[in-house]
Structure 1
Amino acid sequence: MQKKKEHPKVKSQLHPRSQHRERYNFDLLIKSSPKLAAFVAPNKYGDDSVDFFNPKAVLALNKALLKHHYGVEFWEIPEHYLCPPIPGRADYIHNIADLLKGNEGEIPKGNHIKGLDIGVGASCIYPIIGNHEYGWSFIGSDTNETAIVSAKAIEQGNSKLKSNVEIRRQEQSNAFFKDILKPDEKVDFTMCNPPFHASIEDAQKASLKKIKNLKGRRPSQAVLNFGGQQNELWTKGGEARFIKDMIYESRNFGKQCLWFTSLISKEVTLKPTYKILTKVKATDVKTITMGQGQKVSRFIAWTFLSKQEQKEWSHRLMS
């Protein structure tokens, strides 16, 4: 066994309100979800951990985290679908809460605050966290029928989500808001975790590189250790094309949403995205940087509302 590693007490790069700033307390997690115990063992430094390259171990850890921190009663996802790293997903939610803050710095809470999660996925992860942490309600959309069925099962299997989350199927593969937002319907924010690779080959190369960096050796084949389907991991043109199309379509819904947002995985995507937002005459654009471990992530937010309209909308959120 190698010399025991000294770990900082708090993961300072995570959002201050995150429930995941301290190291995993496996004793408490196992108490919440006993099935996790089978996957917990000391690592080479003598610290309790799980094998993050074992999909079953990651799934068991996620179930325990969701039960312990977010009171989730039921959470199952289909095999080979994306099993999300929860601390990073929580950071997106907490930073959106900061984006919605009122003039006095208060965070709007309650189910009158509504978000649209574009590509809610089989895990329904953002509605789970957003509803638990802030009481928000959500529309979750997806083009994938299996993901829709899974997200609906999670919504139905959790009493708090039943009345606060609505899952809607997007029938058009190249649409984001059309036929999801009704003509008179408003949401306070949208959020999206785009597929960021341009092809399955790119996704596999990235996975191989990640595993090599973490394990120090080249694996024999690509293993996407968090799972993931085509629509979750790659799309024609990659994230730049995906976000470009989303921005162009968002113009038609500019009066129905306060803040449109999307994660951006690659820093190189920012420059062309700013150009498009200038072209479509977005009135305000913000880039929010987040950090998880060695990785820096970010999301971009834009609106078509005037400063006065933003102020009036924000006032309504706090009333």
Structure 2
Amino acid sequence: MDLAQRPPYSTVDFKALAKADPDFKQTWQACSGKLDFQDPSTLQVLSKAILKVDFGLELSVPDDRLCPPIPNRWNYVSWIQGLLDSTAPSYSNKYDPEREATGLDIGTGASGIYALLCMKSRSNWTMCATDIDKISFGSAAANFAKNNLLSRTKMLHTTPSMPLIPLEALGTQQLDFTLCNPPFFTDSTEMERSLSGTGKATGPNAICTGSSNEMVCSGGDLGFVTRIVEESLVLRDKVTWYSSMLGKLSSAKAIVELLKSHGITNWAVGVLDPGTKTGTKRWVVAWSFGDARPRNSIARPPGGSFPHELLPFPTSYNISLPSSMIGSAAIDKLNDQLSTLDLVWKWHTATATGVGEASENVWGRAYRRAYERRKREGQVEMHANTFDKKAKLAFRITVIQLAGEIVLEWLRGDDQVLWESFCGCVHRWFKQT
């Protein structure tokens, strides 16, 4: 399987894993197929087996440091990949093997797992990795070296007084993304209550071997990610996408509210649910000061798993085609209408998809009248048929003949009203037919 496009985990086939990995096979047979997820050695063997079999990675973690459940970690990395792919400057909305990206793993931990997975699955990605814990820092460096990835990693041993995103200390001007698995608990008492299952209907899925540095900080996950938000307000577009995992739904909701309070209108929410006994549901919130808009499937988790009022504005709009428009008629209508507007439009016949950019509301009645007058007077300059980074709206339109519908996607822009106006305009073209 191509690691660059490996899907998220929904389950782990332990029987198949036992056949593929001799060490895990011994553990599997010793427990007669009933893994003890409260046993640290079992979790170590399982994580190492998944990494080796599914990713070709070797892992070593000290006994007193967090051994990461791989499915949840990979699902976060996979979500970040989808976020970057769907907001690519090329508007491709798919994996580009040539695209380079640099990320930062804030608090990489003893495993360095997020950086390992990012670099192993995307050959043109490089990673920065920070940690305040000396033992974890050394262990992560050893894991990068063991997997021949140290040369693609820029590491920094930080101190509590340093920024969480220390661009200057890293010697880095720009980052494409950040990842973070923050300490979830406010103090040791909260951690002990959570890990023992106190106050919960069921106990924890698996034992946690994390140290206090990895699991506890002032304010817990909400306090830690609030610091990231505050730093982002200063750094702004020096990082394309800021992101962090959160251990509690309440924390994820609070972070989105915080982003909104600061006027940030471009954010995405992900729900990580690996569906395995070693995994626990987590949430991811990402935000950007840029205007590239991620696709709905990335930014808006389905099924009511996150409060609707805290989700970003939809970036997809579907239009059902009238019976008279089934077939090539819809494509002809679309191209005919768009060709009369003062915008850049490129149609790709093979995929029945087009991408366009507009500098303003060029479909409005007043603008169209002025535009037609300028054309008659010979004052209109022809578009160079190239996309402009200063455009206020970029969009994709796909005609899906079998479904009898047109799908509009918001690719770039920070004007929600402009996007809605364009959707209404295209809808009217087909409603009036």
State the TM-score bracket (shorter-chain normalisation). 0.7 to 0.9
Counterpart in 1 of 2:137?
148
TM-score, normalisation: structure 2: 0.59
Cα distance between partner residues in 2 of 1:183 and 1:54: 41
Find 1:41's aligned residue among 29, 52, 59. Answer: 29
CA-to-aligned-CA distance 1:71-94 (integer Å, 9 cap, x gap): 11x321111111111001000011
> Does residue 104 of structure 1 match 2:92?
yes
Summarize the Cα distance change of 1:17–1:95 in structure 2 as closer, same or farther, 3 Å threshold: same
Counterpart in 2 of 1:284?
266
Code of the residue aligned with 1:202 in structure 2: it is E
Cα distance between partner residues in 2 of 1:76 and 1:38: 19
Cα distance between partner residues in 2 of 1:58 and 1:130: 22
Deviation of 1:35 after TM superposition, in Å, equals 2.5
> Does residue 246 of structure 1 match 2:231?
no
Counterpart in 2 of 1:300?
285
Deviation of 1:21 after TM superposition, in Å, equals 4.0
Counterpart in 2 of 1:267?
249
The residue matched to 2:142 in structure 1 has which SS? helix
Deviation of 1:144 after TM superposition, in Å, equals 0.7
TM-score, normalisation: structure 1: 0.79
Deviation of 1:248 after TM superposition, in Å, equals 0.3
> Does residue 227 of structure 1 match 2:212?
no
Code of the residue aligned with 1:114 in structure 2: it is T
Is 2:11–2:274's contact at 8 Å kept on the other side of the alignment? no
Counterpart in 1 of 2:177?
189
Counterpart in 1 of 2:70?
86
Counterparts of 1:158-169 in structure 2 under 5 Å? 158-159=147-148, 161-169=149-157
The residue matched to 1:282 in structure 2 has which SS? coil
Structure 1, unpaired ranges of 5+: 1-15, 216-221
Measured on the aligned residues, the alpha-carbon RMSD in Å equals 3.1
Is 1:151–1:167's contact at 8 Å kept on the other side of the alignment? no
The residue matched to 1:258 in structure 2 has which SS? strand
Is 1:170–1:179's contact at 8 Å kept on the other side of the alignment? no
Deviation of 1:223 after TM superposition, in Å, equals 11
Deviation of 1:255 after TM superposition, in Å, equals 2.5
> Does residue 53 of structure 1 match 2:38?
yes
Cα distance between partner residues in 2 of 1:89 and 1:229: 18
Deviation of 1:251 after TM superposition, in Å, equals 2.0
Cα distance between partner residues in 1 of 2:200 and 2:251: 25
Deviation of 1:20 after TM superposition, in Å, equals 3.9
CA-to-aligned-CA distance 1:85-118 (integer Å, 9 cap, x gap): 1001000011111111232321244572111000
Code of the residue aligned with 1:97 in structure 2: it is Q
Code of the residue aligned with 1:17 in structure 2: it is R
Summarize the Cα distance change of 1:92–1:184 in structure 2 as closer, same or farther, 3 Å threshold: closer
Larger Rg: 2
Cα distance between partner residues in 2 of 1:53 and 1:123: 20
The residue matched to 1:163 in structure 2 has which SS? helix
Counterpart in 2 of 1:69?
54
Is 2:17–2:24's contact at 8 Å kept on the other side of the alignment? no
Is 1:29–1:65's contact at 8 Å kept on the other side of the alignment? no
Code of the residue aligned with 2:131 in structure 1: it is D
Deviation of 1:214 after TM superposition, in Å, equals 5.5
Summarize the Cα distance change of 1:125–1:172 in structure 2 as closer, same or farther, 3 Å threshold: same
Deviation of 1:309 after TM superposition, in Å, equals 8.0
Deviation of 1:23 after TM superposition, in Å, equals 3.4
The residue matched to 2:13 in structure 1 has which SS? coil
Deviation of 1:178 after TM superposition, in Å, equals 2.5
The residue matched to 1:40 in structure 2 has which SS? helix
Cα distance between partner residues in 2 of 1:111 and 1:126: 19
Code of the residue aligned with 2:48 in structure 1: it is K
Is 1:115–1:191's contact at 8 Å kept on the other side of the alignment? yes
Structure 2, unpaired ranges of 5+: 293-388, 395-410, 413-433
CA-to-aligned-CA distance 1:138-166 (integer Å, 9 cap, x gap): 1111111111000000111112x132222
The residue matched to 1:225 in structure 2 has which SS? coil
Identity %: 24
Deviation of 1:274 after TM superposition, in Å, equals 2.5
Summarize the Cα distance change of 1:184–1:92 in structure 2 as closer, same or farther, 3 Å threshold: closer
Code of the residue aligned with 2:207 in structure 1: it is N
Cα distance between partner residues in 1 of 2:37 and 2:143: 24
Is 1:139–1:166's contact at 8 Å kept on the other side of the alignment? yes
Is 1:100–1:108's contact at 8 Å kept on the other side of the alignment? no
Cα distance between partner residues in 2 of 1:25 and 1:170: 38
